[in-house]
Amino acid sequence: MVQGGNSDRLMSDINVTPFVDVMLVLLVIFMVTAPMMMQGVDVTLPETTSEPLVAKKENLIVTINNKNQVYINDYQVTLDFLQEKLKKILKGRENREVYLRADKEISYGFVVRVMSELKGAGVEKLGMVTEPISKKKKAK
């Protein structure tokens, strides 16, 4: 008669507690750092009543922020070199379409100067990016 249990048996259960702990820590780290990874130029766009357009592919976006700084996508360029840089970018593209995002606080004259540089670079279609009017403002 054998008393006690057979201690020579292998344990076939996997202890997942440490795995879950590590995954939860990684989840918290990614949740905290994800908002910091957002890139782009901060612009307050003018609001309009137009409907949003569906973009079929990645488009070239020229942005003007409230400090009159010009960006091609996320790269800052001076107004003097905007036309030159765009010519080089558009040279390899068959689609010569550009979207312009301009902060609503900047002067109209500066926007027109940038538009002139865009046309001089060979842009065939120029789209203006706006924000839809919020529901609160529509109700007023």
CATH of 47-139, one of 3.30.420.40, 3.30.420.270, 3.30.1200.10, 3.40.50.300: 3.30.420.270
28 versus 58: the higher-pLDDT residue is 28
Domain boundaries of the chain, sorted by first residue:
47-139
The yes-or-no verdict on residue 47 having pLDDT over 90 is: no
Question: pTM of the predicted model, to two decimals?
Answer: 0.57
Q: Within 13 Å of residue 116, how many CA atoms lie on the same side as its CB?
A: 8
Rounding to the nearest 10 degrees, give the CA dihedral for residues 119, 120, 122, 126: -10
Return the residue matching tokens 């057979």. 6
Maximum C-alpha span of the chain? 100
130 versus 119: the higher-pLDDT residue is 119
Whether 24 and 30 have beta carbons less than 8 Å apart is answered as no
pLDDT of residue 95: 81
pLDDT digits (tens, 9 = 90+) for 76-107: 898 888 889 988 888 877 788 888 888 888 88
Quick one: tokens of 15? Answer: 């202890």
